[in-house]
Amino acid sequence: MPGGCSRGPAAGDGRLRLARLALVLLGWVSSSSLTSSAPSTSSASFLASAVSAQPPLPDQCPQPCECSEAARTVKCVNRNLTEVPADLPSYVRNLFLTGNQLAVLPAGAFARRPPLAELAALNLSGSSLEEVCAGAFEHLPSLRQLDLSHNPLVSLSAFAFSGSNASFSAPSPLVELMLNHIVPPDDERQNRSFEGMVAAALRAGQALRGLRRLELASNRFLYLPWDILTQLPGLRHLDLRNNSLVSLTYVSFRNLTHLESLHLEDNALKVLNNGTLAELQSLPHVRVFLDNNPWVCDCHMADMVAWLKETEVVQGKARLTCAFPEKMRNRALLELNSSHLECDPILPPSLQTSYVFLGIVLALIGAIFLLVLYLNRKGIKKWMHNIRDACRDHMEGYHYRYEINADPRLTNLSSNSDV
């Protein structure tokens, strides 16, 4: 389990102070040696040791990394780093920290003096990140592209992109955000809504209103929360391919008026309802990709088929085919008409198999119950006889009272005997 979110270390303030102190000492030693007629051996040795102990300059490359000042690029790839290097050069514009063991990205993880004011592209993919804290990307005023893909994110703070306090922080400069395959382990995912966690980070504080590209592929999303896109009005490219989306009923695309591409390939979509069709048609520039979804061609598909025949929004619509029922498998949606779409779909083989398995389980339970009854037949027979005798005694008592109440003579006799 990753550690708690705490503010990252200051970015080398201590090293800078030590460097200044060493330079002062060097100046004092050199001035002393100039005034003396013969410099002493001890002064020379002190000078050599001071030079050798001088810390690296701020724009020097961190030891485990590869740097190119001409390309403004620093690569710390597959170095098993457990934290962000503290001595990153201030000229860095493209920073690659892929293939490491970072685990936790604390608040202020990239805060430096001088700040990394030119850092525009940050790649943290495949670095075993499990926790991204609030304010992890603060103090990066030029950050345009961020890639957190292929990390098992157990905890993504709602203020990871907006700062530790979204009410007072400036909007994020991010333009492209890649969150592909950030699925946590199954046992961690069951403890909370993964879809809700991602939605909270995308909408907090309206920090990502300038975002233009969002990639959420391969995250096994079962649904999209209704408000996941409400604070992203500038979005132009949305990638949701290779998830497990069954329906788009609850999510709204109405405010994405600048959307140009929507990728929904390789999901579990059965049909698009009329509300979704109307929203997609109202977007002036959008291109929608719907390949490799298991479309169910029954009477509920009629409106979508009619829409597909008229719209130019869907790219490659001629490739869309039916998956169910069996008699319609691999039929192109554009070739269908209302006479083909019936509401008596045959259950898919997976459901048929499930019902057969359920029948077998129930039959086994019934057989076990009968076996228990058979093994306890003597005790059950005795118990039934006892119940029968008890019922007979009660019935005889009720019958006797009924006869007395029905015959007036017996009633008077009973009254006199009581007296």
For 334-355, give the DSSP string.
GG--GGG--S-PPPPHHHHHHH
For residue 306, which amino acid is it? Answer: A
Read off the pLDDT of residues 221-259 as tens digits, 9 standing for 90 and up: 999 999 999 999 999 999 999 999 999 999 999 999 999
Query: CA neighbours within 13 Å on the CB side: how many for 253?
Result: 26
What is the per-residue pLDDT for 382? Answer: 85
What is the per-residue pLDDT for 118? Answer: 96
Q: How far apart are CA 393 and CA 316, in angstroms?
A: 83
Neighbours of 111 (CB within 10 A): 18
Q: How far apart are CA 16 and CA 190, in angstroms?
A: 47
Q: How far apart are CA 136 and CA 199, in angstroms?
A: 18
What is the per-residue pLDDT for 66? Answer: 96
Read off the pLDDT of residues 15-32 as tens digits, 9 standing for 90 and up: 444 444 554 444 444 444
Within the chain, which residues score under 50 in pLDDT?
10-20, 23-56, 345, 417-419
What is the per-residue pLDDT for 38? Answer: 41
What is the per-residue pLDDT for 143? Answer: 97
Q: How far apart are CA 163 and CA 395, in angstroms?
A: 82
What predicted TM-score, i.e. pTM, was given to this entire model?
0.71
Q: How far apart are CA 299 and CA 76, in angstroms?
A: 56
